[in-house]
């Protein structure tokens, strides 16, 4: 029996059939040729004559491919090979998404684990980034926080981490008068205060601050207005 | 007599009513491709021959239109074969095509009769 498939397959080579569809067509047409061959043999033809006559049903010019070319099945999308180089990123996006959806649907347990892992990973990464952002990259909300320093004063023979970061009013005024390095300065004296309102008194953490403190930090007041030059004394009495 | 849909008639003539032949034969019972080709050849007295390279593309085209449906059938001691049967949509199309064809034949008959009268 002739190998009909070897005669049929090349005639389909110019079409973009899916592999499974091509195999079906090759099988179907091979059976047709086989039926014709058997009929010719039964009619008294020799095997060579029968083969030649059966294949003669294919006319010149590969009409099979010409007639099949307009069909949708002759334009199957290229098969997806994971890892193979594709075309443009976005041109294959839809195909990639469909492939991913099919793969996940086939393995629901794997899909659940993958989604949970992704969720945990994204959550952990977000948390870590938030910590890094707030602690290392931009720890303070104030404008120009990276240019602010909190000076420490220590004795010449003391290590740098010793001494103190609290200053007397005279020292603060001395810094302010002799500053040639910084754009500005602000000092505060924090203390607990009793704030009285209509419903009673409330203990709050307050501070006496130097003029221009709000401008120094670039923060607007939540209520009321910032200190005006007219309201501040050139020589803050509380610090004297 | 029903009015002839001229566009449908033109379409049918161009196709040689190949679709009508296939749908008619499959309307009786499911058949495979080789049987269809043989039936058309023998019933037309050898006047009509569907070659393998036009018969199967036609079947696949009708299948894509969902007028027929092919199914692989396996029987004991036999190789599997692909049998085609007409769908509900195929039957509707077949009825329409028969109507168009009959109207055309009737019109030709009347014209030729008048010529000989």
Task: Write the residue in A24, A57, A73 that is nearest to B51 by C-beta.
Answer: A57
Q: Is residue B46 part of a domain?
A: yes
pLDDT of residue A28: 96
Pick from A76, A108, A136: which residue ends a domain?
Answer: A76
A26, A43, A67: best mutation site toward chain B, by most B Cβ within 10 Å? A67
DSSP string, A44-62: T--HHHHHHHHHTTSPTTT
Q: Is residue B1 part of a domain?
A: no
**A198 phi and psi, to 5 degrees?**
-60, -30
Which residues in A lie closer than 8 A to residue B61 (C-beta atoms)? Answer: 70-71
pTM exceeds 0.80, yes or no = no
The model's pLDDT over A11-37, given as tens digits with 9 standing for 90+, comes to: 999 999 999 999 999 999 999 999 999
DSSP string, A15-32: SB--HHHHHHHHHHHHHH
Contact B52 A29 (CB under 8 A): yes
Task: Write the residue in B33, B54, B72 that is nearest to A32 by C-beta.
Answer: B33
- The terminus-to-terminus CA distance of chain B in angstroms comes to 21
Q: Which domain holds residue A174?
A: 169-239
**ipTM of this predicted structure:** 0.84
For residue B75, name the pLDDT band (cuts at 50, 70, 90).
confident
Chain A residues bordering chain B (beta-carbon distance below 8 Å):
11, 24-25, 28-29, 31-33, 35-36, 57-59, 62-64, 67-68, 70-73
Which CATH number belongs to the domain containing residue B88 in this structure? 1.10.10.10
Decide if B84 contacts B24 (C-beta within 8 A).
Answer: no
Pick from A76, A109, A128: which residue ends a domain?
Answer: A76
Tell which wins on pLDDT, A85 or A94. A94
Widest distance between CA atoms in chain A: 130
- Nearest-CA neighbor of A19 among A62, A86, A89, A80? A80
Count of structural domains within chain B: 1
pLDDT of B32 above 90: yes
For residue B117, name the pLDDT band (cuts at 50, 70, 90).
low
pLDDT of B82 above 80: yes
Q: Is residue A186 part of a domain?
A: yes
Q: Which domain holds residue B45?
A: 7-112
Which residues in B lie closer than 8 A to residue A72 (C-beta atoms)? Answer: 64
Q: Is residue A139 part of a domain?
A: no
Average pLDDT, integer, range B15-22: 81
Least confident segment among A28-32, A56-60, A77-81, A205-209:
A77-81
Average pLDDT, integer, range B70-98: 93
How many residues would you count in chain A? 240
Pick from A53, A76, A99: which residue ends a domain?
Answer: A76
């Amino acid at each position: 029996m002739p190998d009909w498939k070897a005669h049929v397959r090349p005639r389909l080579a110019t079409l973009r059939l899916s592999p499974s569809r091509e195999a079906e067509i090759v099988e179907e047409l091979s059976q047709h040729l086989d039926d014709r061959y058997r009929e010719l043999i039964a009619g008294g033809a020799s095997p060579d004559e029968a083969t030649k006559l059966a294949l003669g049903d294919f006319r010149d010019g590969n009409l099979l491919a010409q007639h099949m070319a307009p069909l949708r099945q002759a334009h199957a999308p290229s098969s997806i090979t994971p890892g193979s180089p594709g075309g443009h990123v976005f041109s294959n996006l839809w195909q990639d998404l469909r492939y991913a959806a099919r793969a996940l649907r086939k393995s629901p347990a794997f899909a659940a684990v993958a989604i949970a892992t992704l969720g945990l990973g994204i959550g952990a990464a977000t948390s870590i980034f938030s910590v890094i952002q707030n602690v290392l990259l931009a720890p303070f909300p104030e404008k120009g926080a990276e240019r602010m320093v909190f000076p420490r004063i220590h004795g010449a023979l003391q290590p740098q981490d010793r001494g103190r970061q609290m200053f007397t009013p005279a020292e603060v005024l001395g810094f302010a008068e002799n500053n040639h390095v910084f754009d500005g300065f602000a000092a505060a004296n924090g203390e607990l205060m009793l704030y009285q309102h209509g419903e009673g008194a409330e203990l709050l953490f307050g501070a006496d601050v130097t003029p221009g403190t709000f401008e120094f930090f670039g923060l607007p007041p939540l209520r009321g207005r910032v200190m005006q030059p007219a309201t501040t004394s050139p020589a803050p009495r509380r610090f004297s | 007599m029903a009015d002839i849909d001229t566009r449908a008639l033109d379409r049918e003539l161009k196709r040689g009513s190949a679709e009508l032949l296939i749908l008619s034969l499959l309307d009786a019972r499911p058949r495979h491709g080789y049987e269809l080709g043989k039936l058309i050849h023998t019933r037309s007295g050898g006047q009509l021959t569907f070659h393998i390279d036009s018969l199967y593309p036609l079947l696949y085209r009708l299948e894509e239109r969902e007028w027929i449906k092919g199914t692989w059938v396996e029987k004991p001691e036999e190789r599997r074969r692909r049998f085609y049967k007409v769908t509900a949509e195929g039957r509707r199309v077949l009825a329409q095509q028969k109507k168009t064809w009959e109207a055309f034949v009737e019109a030709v008959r009347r014209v030729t009769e008048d010529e000989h009268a």
